[in-house]
Structure 1
Amino acid sequence: MALKRMDNVGIVVEDLNGTIDFFRELGLELEGRATIEGEWAGRVTGLGDQHVEIAMMRTPDGHSRLELSRFLRPPVVADHRNAPVNALGYLRVMFTVDDIDDTLARLRKRGAELVGEVVRYQDVYRLCYIRGPEGLLIGLAQELG
């Protein structure tokens, strides 16, 4: 059996509302919000008794999603948000945008910080990394030509 698709990428955050606002500014759409709890959920994650608020964010093309989660129970046990780009594990999410300069200007108003600089890769892309809400590492790419 072949893989059908990647359904979503999960990101755990403290400020769910602020993170939703940030990704809306980037251009994602809020698909829905829910509270997840119960024995079945704990069996899936291995966390046992859990209570989580989630928000599903969808890209404009409808093909990709971010699942933002805020754990109420059990408490968060690790924090990888300030890890550098060469750290093991979750690295970043990359988004293609129409205009990288405009996108940076809008996201800076929501606290985004440029990690290095905007660079040009041949005649194909302009690229950069930013730290978004709660220090999340996000890549931005603008296709050229």
Structure 2
Amino acid sequence: MGIVVEDLDETVDFFLELGLELEGQATIEGEWAGRITGLGDQHVEVAMMRTPDGHGRLELSRFVRPAVAADHRSGPVNALGYLRVMFAVDDLEDTLERLRVRGAELVGEVVDYQDVYRLCYIRGPEGLFIGLAQELG
């Protein structure tokens, strides 16, 4: 999963608080990179985050060049295309408290789904839509 952001440092700090680990950061630029993305000559700062279980990765990118072309962060949950990413957490209430300090806002309510999961959506840094799920039992 890749997410384009404006403030890479703030977003990295947010996902560190969520429990992901920073695997590395790099600057990628030049015509060769643009051949992959179709954007031509580009300059991108990238942070690669790893989920605690080591099985998932989240690529955070900040485009220096070319300029960002569109902004989908304010789309509702039923909008087409990428909208959200969901993470499993051990303690939903504790996670929400830690993320609220970093500016996260609850969307809707925290709900129990058939006594199997506690679920909620939050708006994270820059309005990113993030789902949180705690397995019950």
- TM-score if structure 1 supplies the norm length? 0.94
Question: Residue 132 of structure 1: which of 102, 124, 129 is its match?
Answer: 124
Paired position in structure 2 for 1:102: 94
Unaligned runs of 5+ in 1: 1-8
Q: Matches of residues 107-126 of structure 1 in structure 2 within 5 Å?
A: 107-126=99-118
Deviation at 1:73, TM superposition (A): 0.2
Q: Which residue does 1:4 correspond to in 2?
A: none
For residue 44 of structure 1, the aligned residue among 36, 51, 57 is 36
* Stretches of structure 2 lacking an aligned partner (at least 5 in a row): none
Amino acid in structure 1 at the alignment position of 2:57: R
1:91 CA displacement: 1.8
Q: Tell me, yes or no, if structure 1 residue 22 matches structure 2 residue 20.
A: no
Match of 1:13 among 5, 27, 31: 5
The sequence identity of aligned pairs, in percent, is: 85
- What is the one-letter code of the residue matched to 1:52? V
TM-score under structure 2 normalisation?
0.99
CA distance in 2, matches of 1:34, 1:75: 19
Q: Which structure 2 residues correspond to residues 22-101 of structure 1 after superposition, within 5 A?
A: 22-101=14-93
Q: CA RMSD in A?
A: 0.5
Higher strand proportion, which one?
Answer: 2
Where do 4+ consecutive residues of structure 1 move more than 4 Å?
Answer: none
How many pairs does the alignment contain?
A: 137
Q: What is the distance in 2 between the residues matched to 1:57 and 1:16?
A: 12
